[in-house]
Amino acid sequence: MNRPTDVLSFTMKEGRLLGDVVICPAIAKTNAARYGGTFKSEIARLVTHGILHLLGYGHGRKMFDKQDKILEGMNYA
């Protein structure tokens, strides 16, 4: 699809870094309003989502359960 997205993850192939997570603040703001959250909680969700991708998780129940557990631990659930 050719449309803006909320978060992208780019894996590093060298060194000790996992990679980069890039977030579109405009889409995050739209998502927060659409789903009834705050901008800050949406950013937390997107950062967590991006990092889980860098750790090898793909979209699925296991990833979303892990994401929810992390966000709950940070009081963003």
Residue 49 lies inside a defined structural domain of this protein: yes
Residue 57 lies inside a defined structural domain of this protein: yes
Residue 7 lies inside a defined structural domain of this protein: no
Query: Is pLDDT at 13 greater than 90 in this prediction?
Result: no
Give the C-alpha separation, 39 to 62, whole Å. Answer: 25
Give the C-alpha separation, 3 to 68, whole Å. Answer: 26
Residue 56 lies inside a defined structural domain of this protein: yes
Task: Determine the structural domain holding residue 34 and report its residue range.
Answer: 23-73
- Residue 9: exposed, middle, or buried by beta-carbon count in 10 A (0-12, 13-18, 19+)? middle
Q: Considering its fold, how many domains does the chain have in total?
A: 1
pLDDT in tens, 20-42: 999 999 999 999 999 999 999 99
Residue 14 lies inside a defined structural domain of this protein: no
pTM: 0.90
Residue 45 lies inside a defined structural domain of this protein: yes
Query: Is pLDDT at 11 greater than 80 in this prediction?
Result: yes
Which DSSP state fits 75? T
Residue type, 29: K
Tell me the torsion sign for CA atoms 9, 10, 14, 15. Answer: negative
